[in-house]
Amino acid sequence: MSVKAYGAREGTRPLEPMTIFRRQPGCDDVQIQIAFCGICHSDIHQVRSEWAGTLYPCVPGHEIVGRVIAVGSHVPHFRPGDLVGVGCIVDSCRHCQDCAEGLENYCDQLTMTYNGPSADAPGHTLGGYSQQIVVHQRYVLRIRHPERQLAAVAPLLCAGITTYSPLRHWQTGPGKKVGVVGIGGLGHLGIKLAHAMGAHVVAFTTSDAKRDAAKALGADEVVLSHHAAEMEEHARSFDFILNTVAVAHSLEPFIALLKRDGTMTLVGAPATPHPSPEIFSLIAKRRTLAGSMIGGLPETQEMLDFCAEKGIVADIELIHASQINDAYERMLKGDVHYRFVMDNATLEP
């Protein structure tokens, strides 16, 4: 079937309206009418081929929420009308060690929601800036938030799980001092989640204007990261720092804030590498520099349920599909409070 979408035909061209193909649901598939889709900075990296290897046409979008329209004959747990979500993953091998442990995000044969291999035309997956999507049931999440919050739930499907998973893995919680670097889509949810887990949360920003807002999000303290004296006050004091910044920058000033055995985990995925840090800044205090990629399906459901229970959603700016190119430009300036979400009903001709 044909559905309306927004995407790019080349990395140097703006996104434009297009018509794409979706398969009829197979016996294990869930067909979803997309209500809203969050706009992740990864969408910009990918659609502009900043990570190389982008296939065109490229329809981004992996923070998908909507309602089930139809299900295949072997789908016991979803029914038409259910509120559901789809994140960054639409398939994986389903039998490797990672898949067996529910860590599909680390499967070598992971299929991403867009720009992944696909048997459907045009031969690669197309994402959530579209009216509908058809996904194997294993990769569909249940949404338990009230429907009125649906647009603000969308960013949880990538930004939420990408921050929740490392915060859990590195056991942040009461008694832990946690830094979140960059108050954008990921960072603002990282602040909310770390606060809800009971940690003492310090937000690091380059934007003076976000200082008060960061406190409202749940930060106990806010530090301007280019202000050396403010940074020095926190030297050697952090258990864990989550770095969400989307551009290459010096990691050194943040490593210096870790206490002995502290960890900084990078989730930001800039187009060019960060300068390599001084090895002795790691050696001297047995510090760890780590990475983390989204999260597996069971943990994504756990995160959605945790957020529903705690009343956590993203702070969003809802946009018409035709505003997508302007939204990208504002994101590149760090000017979004704190996640753009597309109203997919505006994709109607």
Answer whether 283's CB lies under 8 Å from 221's CB: no
Dist CA 297 CA 65 (whole Å): 15
Strands 89-91 and 339-343: unpaired
Q: Using the rule CB under 6 A, which residue among 14, 72, 102, 334 binds ligand NAP?
A: 334
Dist CA 276 CA 171 (whole Å): 26
**Shortest Cβ distance from residue 240 to ligand NAP (Å)?**
16
Three-class DSSP category at 198: coil
Binding segment (CB under 6 A) for ligand NAP, from list 5-13, 76-84, 244-252, 275-283: 244-252
State the binding partner of 18 from ligand NAP, Zn ion, none, CB within 5 to 8 A by kind.
none
Q: Does 297 bind ligand NAP (CB under 6 A)?
A: no
Q: Using the rule CB under 6 A, which residue among 59, 294, 341, 342 binds ligand NAP?
A: 294
C-alpha closest to that of 88 among 106, 105, 68, 102: 105
Take residue 218 and report the two structure tokens written for it: 């749940």
Query: For residues 42 and 131, which CB has a smaller minimum distance to ligand NAP in the complex?
Result: 42
Q: How far apart are the first and last CA of the chain?
A: 16
Take residue 323 and report the two structure tokens written for it: 């505003």
C-alpha closest to that of 307 among 226, 207, 197, 210: 197
Site string for Zn ion, 115-154 (x = CB under 5 A): ----------------------------------------
Query: For residues 107 and 258, which CB has a smaller minimum distance to Zn ion in the complex?
Result: 107
State the binding partner of 99 from ligand NAP, Zn ion, none, CB within 5 to 8 A by kind.
Zn ion
The residue number whose beta carbon is nearest to ligand NAP equals 184
* One-character DSSP codes across 81-143: T-EEEE-SEEE--SSSHHHHTT-GGG-TT-EESSSSB-SSTTSB---SSBSEEEEEGGG-EE-
Instruction: For residue 188, give the H/E element and its range.
Output: helix 185-196
Dist CA 200 CA 211 (whole Å): 16
**Shortest Cβ distance from residue 45 to ligand NAP (Å)?**
5
Beta bridge partners of 290: 265
Q: Does 186 bind ligand NAP (CB under 6 A)?
A: yes
Query: For residues 22 and 188, which CB has a smaller minimum distance to ligand NAP in the complex?
Result: 188
State the binding partner of 245 from ligand NAP, Zn ion, none, CB within 5 to 8 A by kind.
ligand NAP
Q: Does 40 bind Zn ion (CB under 5 A)?
A: yes
State the binding partner of 267 from Zn ion, ligand NAP, none, CB within 5 to 8 A by kind.
ligand NAP
Q: Using the rule CB under 6 A, which residue among 45, 67, 168, 215 binds ligand NAP?
A: 45
Q: Does 244 bind ligand NAP (CB under 6 A)?
A: yes
Q: Does 205 bind ligand NAP (CB under 6 A)?
A: yes
Answer whether 130's CB lies under 8 Å from 347's CB: yes
Q: Does 314 bind Zn ion (CB under 5 A)?
A: no
Query: For residues 336 and 342, which CB has a smaller minimum distance to ligand NAP in the complex?
Result: 336
Residue numbers 141-160 binding ligand NAP by CB under 6 A:
158-159
Quick one: DSSP state of residue 280? H
Beta bridge partners of 317: 340
Name the site residues for ligand NAP (rule: CB under 6 A): 40-42, 45, 158-159, 162, 182-187, 205-207, 210, 244-247, 249, 267-270, 292-294, 331, 334, 336
Name the site residues for Zn ion (rule: CB under 5 A): 40, 42, 92-93, 96, 99, 107, 158
